[in-house]
Structure 1
Amino acid sequence: MEEGGSGNSGYVDTSKADKAVWLMKCPSVVSRALQSSSVPNDLPVAKVIVSIDPLCSDPEDPSIRQFTMELSGSDLGNVPKCFSMDMSKEIVPMSVFSENEGKITVEGKIHNKFDMRPHYDAIESYGKLCRERTDRSMTKTRQIQVIGNERPIIPMPGITHTQEKKKVVVKGSETKRTRRDRGEMEDIMFKLFEQQPNWTLKELVQKTDQPEQFMKDLLKDLCVYNNKGSNQGSYELKPEYKRSAEDQSGS
């Protein structure tokens, strides 16, 4: 069969197109073990053992044959040396191609597919392999690097000056706010709420020049806080104090 591409013409060798080929899905851990195996090139890296059930009457029964693969080599670590091969014939039609020095060859047609799984004799070594893989994935790689000849980080003079200036302002404002007598402050509060019915904490602190915590204690006893509505976030006198304030203003 002739094939053209990139301006060059070539041929695909299809003389072995009908040759039966087995497809084996090999786990990555097995693939790495086979590639790094110390087995000499002239010796097989594995062997497949076919077990046949002589008592099975149906020759087409897939269970009549059991396939097992045994890996060669003694340097596999915890990689299982024995695998069961589950055969399946219901596969999408596929062929195997190879390329050698620009020559493309059809090596055969896939008739059977095999899925590998650890044999029951190798469950213990496979369990060790899984634990090692889990431990490696959970281990965090930490590196300590010594940095030499580095100059220390010195804050900029402008930033330091700004921070110190802010501290001085806060201390000065707190020093000015001296607590007045509670009875005197209650009278001042009633007069302020006569001027307008709603005040925020910040407004009252600025208006009375009293410590914020002292104002909170007074508001807790004299006022209610508006959580919603048009006056949300402000305080107003409790109903009983509103009446007393109105009586005092009327008298």
Structure 2
Amino acid sequence: MSKNEETVKTEKELDCGNASRGVWLVKVPKYIAKKWEKATGDIEVGKLKIVKYPGQKSQVSLSLSEATLKIDPEQDIPKEHRFDVLAVKQQALGVFSQHIDSDRSDKIYMEGTIVEKLECRPYADQTYMTMKANSIKNASMPKRRVEQLDSVVTTFKPISDHKHNIEYEKKKKSDGKKSRTDKQAVMDMLFNAFEKHQFYNIRDLVQLTNQPISYLKEILKEICEYSVKNPHKNTWHLKPEYRHYSEDKKDKAETKSTKDDDKMSDSDDDDF
């Protein structure tokens, strides 16, 4: 192993020199954490008082400094707080730090082992009750409000159209509006179609004739019948007086139409 490789390996190892040092894990309210985040590094943020009685748990209290209370003076917070001490059981918790240098690899240090967990709680004084009342009031206020305008608004913000509306307009523009063809020409197209297959779904007939569905149904009612029972449910077929199938051709057409019906949609033509 080269000297450089040995150095890199040493840098990546965990430094457990302070593993035996006991530390506290403290949870503070958000309003205190926000004050401390805005505090500069050269001011006193508070004083911690620890009172020990024989055979009892230690009593820990926190008193915020006047400098901390003056940070963001619009928010008035309680000054005195107490700590609920909780023992760490069946857990192995530690505090780790990492110094990042550009000239060498990162190294992780163990700063200590957590021996107690504490929760900071305020005393229920008048300041705390006022703060909570204001917090509840602000949370219940709607984010949007209706305001009456005294003057006419001449500027409007553009509103983007929905995606499905844009796609529908493009499709409508590309397809164009379907125009009605001569009735006899439509009937010829229908007869030619029924010579190939005996049963058709309304969707297929609209695609074959390229006619409006309402206009196409008017013609279909004159020359066709609508099936409402299986095996050709929701399909159209020619009336008996317009049929001219031979027996062999009719059997083939029925076989072919049965296969096509399996591919057709089962939805009713009125839902198109």
The two structures have a TM-score, normalised by structure 2, of 0.44
Relative to total residues, which structure has the larger strand share, 1 or 2? 1
- Give the structure with higher Rg (CA): 1
The two structures have a TM-score, normalised by structure 1, of 0.47
